[in-house]
Structure 1
Amino acid sequence: MGTLRILSGMRPTGKLHLGHYTGALESWVEQQNQRNEAGERVYETCFLIADYHNLTTSLETGEIYTHTLDMLIDWLAAGVDPEKSPVFRQSQVKEHTELFLLFSMLITSSRLERNPTLKDQIRDLNMESLTYGHLGYPVLQAADILLYKGNVVPVGEDQLPHVEITREIARRFNNLYQHPILGEVFPEPAPKITKFSRLPGLDGKAKMSKSLGNTILLSDSPDEIAKKMRTAVTDTKKVRKNDPGHPEVCTVYSYHEKFAPQEQLSAIEADCRSGSLGCVDCKKMCAANIAAELSPLVEKRAYYETHMELVKSILLEGEAKARAIARATMQEVRTAMKLGEITC
C-alpha cells in the first residue's frame, strides 16, 4: 500500500490552547513525520483552516483573518511543516463549495437530522433554530475530505457518525457515476480511531474552552502559566496543606500526567496521597513543567510573529498546492457526471 492521504482541520478561533495541543496538534505532527521501515512517509497530510465551518455557529467574520494567522502561527510553532503538509483556507479553494453542492444532492435531510453529533451540538449550544448550513455541516466535511481523496480520517469515537456519512456519500457517488478511465472517483475513507488526549479546563470542566476562560494558551509566558495555574481547582477534600490528597480527582494532577517527567510523576502521586505535597507547591511544579514543554513553541512563535510576510506566504503557497489537487479532483467529478460536456 502506498502513502495514505489524511486531511485534518480546525476552525480559526485565534490562538490555541493546551487542549488543542494535546488533542490534535501532537497527533498531526506525528502523522506528518511518520515513516515506514523503508523510510517512506506513511501519510500525506493536508491541514485545513475551516473558515466556512465557522459560519455554522457564528456569522461574525471580522476577526477571521487575524484568527487564521494566529492559529497558523501556533501550528507552525508546534511542528507543522508546510513543505510536507500544505496549509490552506477552505474559503480560498472554491472547489470545496462546488463539491459540497453536488454532494448535497446525494443525501436526504432526514438522514442528516438523524446525525447524533448534530443533536449533541444543538443541545450543547442551546440552539433554538437550525440553519441549512449547520444541518449540512457533515456534507461540507465530506467534501473537504473527498476533494483531496482522503483515505484515512483520524477521529474520536464521537465523530464516527460524520465519517460514516462521508463513506455513504462516496459510495453513492461511485455507484451513480463512473469515470471512463479511473472508474470509481472517490475512496471510501476509513476511520482511524484516535484516543485524543483531552485536558480538562483549569476550572475542572470537561474540556478547555476560551469562551469559558479556563485555558492555558500555547503562547503564554511562564509567568502567565504560573498565574493561571494558581486558579486551577484541586481535590476539594484536601483542605489543609498536610491533608492526604486524591490525585485521581485533581485537575492539576491530570496535567502532571501529561507534562511531568515519568520519574517525577510517581513521586508527585505518592507525596500528594501522603499529604507531604501541598497544592501550592504542586501547582508551581506543574506550571514549571508546562512552561518547559511550551518553551520551544513560544520561541518559534516569537520568530513567526516578527516574520508575518513569511507566514502569509506559507498560507498562499499552501493554498496554491491545495487548489491544484482540488482542480484535478473536480475535473474527474465533472467527467464522471458528464457535466460541461460539449458533443456534436
Structure 2
Amino acid sequence: MRPTGKLHLGHYTGALENWIEQQNLRAPDGSRLYETCFLIADYHSLTTSLDTSEIYGHTIDMLTDWLAAGVDPEKSPVFRQSQVKEHTELFLIFSMLITSARLERNPTLKEQVRDLQMESLTYGHLGYPVLQAADILLYKGSVVPVGEDQIPHVEITREIARKFNNHYPHPTKGEVFLEPEPKITKFSRLVGLDGKAKMSKSLGNTILLSDGPDEVQKKMRNAVTDTLKQRKNDPGRPEVCSVFSYHNRFSNPERLCSIEEDCRSGALGCVDCKRMCATAISEELAPILERRKQYEGNPGLVRSILLEGENKARVIANETMQEVRAAMQLGEQ
C-alpha cells in the first residue's frame, strides 16, 4: 500500500483483511500455507505528489493500522520500498522489457488520471506498474492479494516475468521468476458514504479504522441511501442503497435478512438503518481500536518492527538480485 496515513474501511475490506487471512492460513500438516511480505510503497506515492514531508508520519500511521488489524511482524516482514535499494535496480531492468504503448493501455492508470483530473503524466507514473512488478517479483511472489482495480497490474507483472524468463534463463535454475496470481476478496470494493464507486480520503467519504463509535455514527448519518425512500414507511430498494452494502459486509446473516425485509416493506426507516449499520461496523472495529491504542502508546515498538522487517527484506532481495545478475550474465564471470 502507498503510505497515505490512516486507513479506511475500503482498505480493510479490499485488501487488509485478505492479507491477514493469507498470513494465517495453514496447510493440512499444520505448516503455514504462505510466506507473506507486506510492502509500504513510499516510492509509489511520488506518482501523485512530490511532497515528501509527511511520508514518514503517514507510514507510521498506516503501519499502526496494519498491526492493529492483525498483521504479525513475526510471520510477515513489513518494510518500506525506499529502504530496500534492489527495488529500483530490478525496476530499471524490467523497464527494458515492456513498451510504453503497453503501459498506456493500462485501464487502472486511465482511471487514476480521470479521477485525479491529471493534465499530464510523468514517466514515473506511467511506469508505476513496472515498479510494482519489481516489488512483487523481488520476493518471488506467487499470490498477490489485491483489490479488483489492481488486477491489470498483476497481469503486467506476469508478462514481465514471462519475458525475463524467456530472455534470461538462469544457468542452473532455469526460470528465475514465477508468474504470480491475483487473489481478491468477495468485498473487494466498498462504496463511499456519498454513494461514489469507492471510498477515498480525497473525496471525504470514508470511515477510518481508527474512528470510534461516536465518529462512526456521526459519519453514517450523512451516508447516501435510496433516493426514492423519502420517509420511513416508503418501500426501499436495498440493492441500490450504499448503507445496505455496508450491512451486507458487517451485519450478521440473521440481522441482514431482517434489515432487507423491513427496508423493502417500509417498516425500517433510514435513520434506524444507519444507526444499526454504524453499530455493526463499530463492533468489528472494537478489537482493532483496542490494539491500535497499545501501538500508539509505544511508537518505539512500531519503529523497531519496521526496521527489523527491512533487514529481513534486504536479505531476500539480495538473493533474488544475485540470481537476476547470474541469469543476465552481469558482473563477475
- Whole-Å separation in 2 of the counterparts to 1:259 and 1:196: 11
SS of match in other structure, 1:217: coil
Which digits, 9 at most, give the CA deviation of each residue in 1:190-242, with x for residues without a partner? Answer: 33454443221111111111111111111111111111111111122221222
- Residue 7 of structure 1 corresponds to none
Q: Say whether residues 1:43 and 2:58 are aligned partners.
A: no
- Residue 101 of structure 2 corresponds to 110
- Supply the RMSD in Å over aligned alpha carbons: 1.5
- Whole-Å separation in 1 of the counterparts to 2:323 and 2:188: 38
Q: Say whether residues 1:286 and 2:277 are aligned partners.
A: yes
Aligned residue runs from structure 1 range 79-94, under 5 A: 79-94=70-85
- Residue 152 of structure 1 corresponds to 143
The verdict on how the C-alpha distance between 1:195 and 1:278 changes in structure 2, with shifts beyond 3 A counting, is: closer
Which digits, 9 at most, give the CA deviation of each residue in 1:66-98, with x for residues without a partner? Answer: 000000010011111111111000000000001
The verdict on how the C-alpha distance between 1:329 and 1:302 changes in structure 2, with shifts beyond 3 A counting, is: same
SS of match in other structure, 1:45: coil
Which digits, 9 at most, give the CA deviation of each residue in 1:90-133, with x for residues without a partner? Answer: 00000000110111112222222232322232222222111110
How many residue pairs align between the two structures? 333
Percent identity of equivalent pairs:
79
The verdict on how the C-alpha distance between 1:25 and 1:155 changes in structure 2, with shifts beyond 3 A counting, is: closer
What is the TM-score normalised by the length of structure 1? Answer: 0.93
Which digits, 9 at most, give the CA deviation of each residue in 1:248-297, with x for residues without a partner? Answer: 22221111111112111111112222222222111111111111110000
* 8 Å contact from structure 1 (residues 32, 43) kept in 2: yes
- Whole-Å separation in 1 of the counterparts to 2:83 and 2:302: 16
- Among 256, 259, 273, the alignment partner of 1:268 is 259
The residue type paired with residue 232 of structure 1 is A
- Whole-Å separation in 2 of the counterparts to 1:78 and 1:244: 37
- Among 229, 235, 243, the alignment partner of 1:238 is 229
- Whole-Å separation in 2 of the counterparts to 1:151 and 1:211: 32
Q: Say whether residues 1:96 and 2:87 are aligned partners.
A: yes
- Whole-Å separation in 1 of the counterparts to 2:137 and 2:35: 14
- Residue 6 of structure 1 corresponds to none
- Residue 165 of structure 2 corresponds to 174
- Among 196, 219, 226, the alignment partner of 2:210 is 219
- Whole-Å separation in 2 of the counterparts to 1:193 and 1:15: 22
- Among 14, 21, 38, the alignment partner of 2:12 is 21
The verdict on how the C-alpha distance between 1:123 and 1:308 changes in structure 2, with shifts beyond 3 A counting, is: same
The verdict on how the C-alpha distance between 1:205 and 1:100 changes in structure 2, with shifts beyond 3 A counting, is: same
* 8 Å contact from structure 2 (residues 14, 185) kept in 1: no
SS of match in other structure, 2:36: strand
- Whole-Å separation in 2 of the counterparts to 1:55 and 1:79: 28
**Larger deviation, residues 115-124 vs 132-141:** 115-124
- Residue 326 of structure 2 corresponds to 335
The verdict on how the C-alpha distance between 1:243 and 1:50 changes in structure 2, with shifts beyond 3 A counting, is: same
- Whole-Å separation in 1 of the counterparts to 2:148 and 2:13: 17
For structure 1, list consecutive stretches of 5 or more residues without a partner in the other structure: 1-9
- Residue 199 of structure 1 corresponds to 190
* 8 Å contact from structure 2 (residues 18, 145) kept in 1: no
Q: Say whether residues 1:323 and 2:308 are aligned partners.
A: no
- Among 250, 256, 272, the alignment partner of 2:247 is 256
- Residue 57 of structure 2 corresponds to 66
What is the TM-score normalised by the length of structure 2? Answer: 0.96
SS of match in other structure, 1:153: strand
- Whole-Å separation in 2 of the counterparts to 1:116 and 1:278: 39
The residue type paired with residue 321 of structure 1 is K
- Residue 5 of structure 1 corresponds to none
The verdict on how the C-alpha distance between 1:280 and 1:85 changes in structure 2, with shifts beyond 3 A counting, is: same
The verdict on how the C-alpha distance between 1:334 and 1:29 changes in structure 2, with shifts beyond 3 A counting, is: same
The residue type paired with residue 172 of structure 2 is I
- Whole-Å separation in 2 of the counterparts to 1:130 and 1:50: 19
